[in-house]
Amino acid sequence: MLLKDKTAVLYGGAGHVGSAVARVFAREGAHVFLSGRSLAALDEVARGIRAAGGRAETARVDATDPQSVDAHFASVVAHAGGVDVSFSMIGLADVQGQPLTEMALADYLRPIEIGARTHFITATTAARHMTERGRGVILALTATPARLSLPLVGGFGTACCAIEGMLRTLAAEAGPRGVRVCWLRSAGSPETFGPHVAVDSEGQPAGLADTDYLQTLRNSTLLKRFPRIGEVGETAALIASDRASAITGAATNITCGQIVD
């Protein structure tokens, strides 16, 4: 097992990607602590994990509130003796499908503010605890607009750039004390898309026909497809494991070849 006897705190654990990651982590031996806004949704994921023989706990945590995150993290440390992996997969409430020239300032800034705030809070909270122990892995999920010039993504691309920039700095600061900081850069998974139109993170139509813009994005990948959420989970488990112990301050490319390194 890649994560045998590891403890993992997963933010956004009830989302499409978060729940997939949680299932893979638990299957690989981790004790997963799922946090998010909806306790009912988190509990449903946890029940599935326990039914499959895994270990999962849930808590309602406001990732925009430093006190809420710190209190939860401290409770996990007290319960489990420490945290080995922290992974933020929090939705950014981004609006896509509109040109910047037609977008409201509030819609542009929202994902940037949410992304910068929540990732700073969750990552630095984890880093404070992990550096005391001299080990740990901090993960985040970003996307191709952090690197590619894609139209109609609003503030989402800027948010991804902000998250990655902060994590690079944290990796430099936490690395000498045994803590790795990495992020998975995805092209987006089809399970998170609406059936007929592209949608924002709240599931609202973004004004893009799936057969138009999304097909164009598919065609831009070398594999002519998007990464499935299960593939995101499998990759995350590998990067979180000791087998990736030499990797830090870096993006893991899970774009199916939309980005070529």
Return the CATH number at 188.
3.40.50.720
Query: What value does the mean pLDDT take over residues 236-241?
Result: 98
132-159 confidence digits (pLDDT tens): 999 999 999 999 999 999 899 999 999 9
Whole-model pTM: value is 0.92
Mean pLDDT rounded to a whole number for the chain: 92
Structural domain contains residue 258? no
Structural domain contains residue 1? no
Structural domain contains residue 66? yes
Cα(121)–Cα(88) distance, integer angstroms: 10
- 205-209 and 197-199 strand pairing: antiparallel
Q: How high is the pLDDT of residue 198? A: 46
How many structural domains are present in the chain?
Answer: 1
Question: If you search the block for the tokens 């956004």, which residue do you land on?
Answer: 12
Q: How high is the pLDDT of residue 203? A: 43
Question: If you search the block for the tokens 């984890």, which residue do you land on?
Answer: 126
Structural domain contains residue 260? no
Q: How high is the pLDDT of residue 194? A: 54
pLDDT grade, residue 211 (50/70/90)?
low
* The one-letter amino acid at 40: A
Structural domain contains residue 257? no
Query: What value does the mean pLDDT take over residues 121-128?
Result: 98
Look up the domain containing 40 and give its range.
7-252
Q: How high is the pLDDT of residue 119? A: 98
- 136 and 180 in contact (C-beta within 8 Å)? yes
- Look at residue 207 and tell me whether its pLDDT is greater than 50: no
Cα(224)–Cα(217) distance, integer angstroms: 9
